[in-house]
C-alpha cells in the first residue's frame, strides 16, 4: 500500500499540470473577450488565491471575478 508521503506526491499537481491549467484558463478568458494581459493577470491572481488544488472551472470563475468591470 502507498505511504501517506507517496499519496501526497501523486495528488500534488506537477509544474506542467499547473502550466496547462494557467494556459487553459487564460485562453477561456481571452475567448470571452478579455485582453491577454488582463486575462493573464487575473489568472495569476486567482491561482495564487486558490492554491495548487484549483480545478479549471474554479480557476476560470475566480479569474473572472478579478477582471475589471467593462465600461459602458
For every residue of 4-52, DSSP letters joined together read HHHHHHHHSPPHHHHHHHHHHHHHHHHHTT--HHHHHHHHHHHHHHH-T
- The model's confidence at residue 72, banded by pLDDT at 50, 70 and 90, is low
Whether 39 and 66 have beta carbons less than 8 Å apart is answered as no
Which pLDDT tens digit goes with each residue over 35-70?
999 999 999 999 999 998 899 999 999 999 999 987
Alpha-carbon dihedral 38, 41, 42, 44, rounded to 10 degrees: 160
Amino acid at each position: 500500500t502507498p505511504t501517506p508521503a507517496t499519496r501526497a506526491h501523486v495528488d500534488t499537481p506537477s509544474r506542467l499540470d499547473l502550466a496547462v491549467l494557467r494556459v487553459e484558463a487564460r485562453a477561456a478568458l481571452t475567448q470571452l473577450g478579455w485582453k491577454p494581459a488582463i486575462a493573464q493577470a487575473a489568472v495569476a491572481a486567482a491561482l495564487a488565491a486558490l492554491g495548487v488544488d484549483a480545478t479549471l472551472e474554479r480557476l476560470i470563475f475566480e479569474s473572472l471575478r478579478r477582471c475589471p468591470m467593462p465600461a459602458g
